[in-house]
Amino acid sequence: MSVPLRNPLRPLRFKNLANELNPRQLETSNLKPETIHMASLSDYKKKRRFNKTPEPGPEKKTSEFGNIFVVQKHRATQLHYDFRLEADGVLKSWAVPKGPPMDPKVKRLAMQVEDHPVDYADFEGVIPEGEYGGGTVMVWDYGVYAPENTNNVSRALAKGELKFTVLGKKLQGSFVLVRTRERQWLLMKHRDQYAKDGEDITETQPYSVLTKRTLAEIAEDEGGDVKKAATGDPKKLPPRRGIIRRKKSAKKKVWHSNKGAG
Ligand code: MN
């Protein structure tokens, strides 16, 4: 088994979030988890074998902000973007085949999937083929969010509509999730100063927000299927700076160290 049980890149993940983003730009005082008993990770737990997958275990917790969002690009059987919002000690999750839109004229199908643990938010790596969701996972965007016109995210979701504002590295401004039937929702961008008409942000900003890697590079670094992962990358890659690759020689040492990378 060449897949590490924890990603040595982990220490990079959220440690600078407080410096890079200003959560106080959003009103977060109404995000206290008042219904933390409602959410469950039992479906998440049932679908996975934690001695085979490097994904985090089914532990409920609140992030240091209490209101994070993350979008993970996932080249599984089909390419999709997992859109996740923290609520009640878990990440409420939707699989968005075409990814989140910044163009307010675009409606994107979003299939609600099982709640994920908050620790999942900084998971970037490879789920072994043959395991649930087998394939390469990239942290495509992260940040914080605030619900609009409500102080109860779970109640809004139960009613089938959640308006919210996100402050991410790529996604910004006001969005809405509307349920059309059962687990099927639509994700749409509201028209505001952040909207980008005619732009598909998944094409213009294809890299990991944590490491600037492509899916193929993540697969290569983490022992995944590089060819399969590459089919999820754009054919023409925009310029980039600051890419962080795993040093192959350092892999074992970093992996077994308790000190980590920072
Ligand atoms: Mn997925």
CA dist 191 and 170 (Å) reads: 16
Query: What pLDDT shows up at residue 255?
Result: 42
Could you tell me the distance, in angstroms and rounded to a whole number, from the CA of residue 259 to the centre of ligand 1?
30
Could you tell me the distance, in angstroms and rounded to a whole number, from the CA of residue 231 to the centre of ligand 1?
16
Could you tell me the distance, in angstroms and rounded to a whole number, from the CA of residue 29 to the centre of ligand 1?
30
Taking 90 as the threshold, does the pLDDT of residue 253 lie above it? Answer: no
Can you tell me the mean pLDDT for 114-132? Answer: 96
CA dist 256 and 177 (Å) reads: 41
Out of 27-41, 93-107, 136-150, least confident range? 27-41
Of the pLDDT bands very low, low, confident and very high (cuts 50, 70, 90), residue 11 is very low
Residue 140 CA neighbour count, 13 Å, CB half: 26
Q: What is the pLDDT of residues 227-239, one digit of tens each?
A: 999 999 999 999 9
Could you tell me the distance, in angstroms and rounded to a whole number, from the CA of residue 76 to the centre of ligand 1?
7
Could you tell me the distance, in angstroms and rounded to a whole number, from the CA of residue 165 to the centre of ligand 1?
23
Could you tell me the distance, in angstroms and rounded to a whole number, from the CA of residue 34 to the centre of ligand 1?
28
Can you tell me the mean pLDDT for 242-248? Answer: 87
Can you tell me the mean pLDDT for 77-87? Answer: 97
Cβ-proximal residues to 69 (8 Å cutoff; 6+ apart), any chain: 83, 84, 85, 86, 142, 143, 144, 145, 166, 168, 171
Could you tell me the distance, in angstroms and rounded to a whole number, from the CA of residue 198 to the centre of ligand 1?
26
Instruction: Return the closest-CA partner of residue 208 out of 57, 66, 18, 74.
Output: 74
Can you tell me the mean pLDDT for 202-208? Answer: 96
What does the block give as tokens for 157?
């979701």
Query: What pLDDT shows up at residue 32?
Result: 47
Could you tell me the distance, in angstroms and rounded to a whole number, from the CA of residue 177 to the centre of ligand 1?
18
Could you tell me the distance, in angstroms and rounded to a whole number, from the CA of residue 168 to the centre of ligand 1?
20
Of the pLDDT bands very low, low, confident and very high (cuts 50, 70, 90), residue 249 is low
Query: What pLDDT shows up at residue 246?
Result: 87
Q: What is the pLDDT of residues 132-189, one digit of tens each?
A: 999 999 999 999 999 999 989 999 999 999 999 999 999 999 999 999 999 999 999 9
Can you tell me the mean pLDDT for 38-56? Answer: 90
Secondary structure (H, E, C), the chain? CCCCCCCCCHHHCCCCHHHHCCHHHCCCHHHCCCCCCCCCCHHHHHHCCCCCCCCCCCCCCCCCCCCEEEEEEEECCCEEEEEEEEECCEEEEEEECCCCCCCCCCEEEEEEEEEEEHHHHHCCEEECCCCCCCEEEEEEEEEEEEECCCCCHHHHHHHCEEEEEEEECCCEEEEEEEEEECCEEEEEECCCCCCCCCCCHHHHCCCCCCCCCCHHHHHHHHCCCHHHHHCCCCCCCCCCCCCCCCCHHHHHHHHHCCCCCC
Could you tell me the distance, in angstroms and rounded to a whole number, from the CA of residue 15 to the centre of ligand 1?
24
CA dist 162 and 147 (Å) reads: 7
Which one is predicted more confidently, 5 or 215?
Answer: 215
Specify the pTM: 0.84
Cβ-in-10-Å burial (0-12, 13-18, 19+) of 100 comes to buried
Query: What pLDDT shows up at residue 15?
Result: 44
Query: What pLDDT shows up at residue 91?
Result: 97
Could you tell me the distance, in angstroms and rounded to a whole number, from the CA of residue 181 to the centre of ligand 1?
20
Taking 50 as the threshold, does the pLDDT of residue 43 lie above it? Answer: yes
Can you tell me the mean pLDDT for 55-59? Answer: 93
Could you tell me the distance, in angstroms and rounded to a whole number, from the CA of residue 88 to the centre of ligand 1?
21
What percent of the chain is predicted at pLDDT more than 90? 76
Could you tell me the distance, in angstroms and rounded to a whole number, from the CA of residue 174 to the centre of ligand 1?
23
Amino acid at 47: K
Could you tell me the distance, in angstroms and rounded to a whole number, from the CA of residue 2 to the centre of ligand 1?
21
For residues 97 and 190, is the Cβ–Cβ distance under 8 A? no
Query: What pLDDT shows up at residue 231?
Result: 97
Of the pLDDT bands very low, low, confident and very high (cuts 50, 70, 90), residue 261 is very low
Could you tell me the distance, in angstroms and rounded to a whole number, from the CA of residue 208 to the centre of ligand 1?
15
Query: What pLDDT shows up at residue 40?
Result: 85
Residue-range domain boundaries for the chain? 11-230
Could you tell me the distance, in angstroms and rounded to a whole number, from the CA of residue 133 to the centre of ligand 1?
6
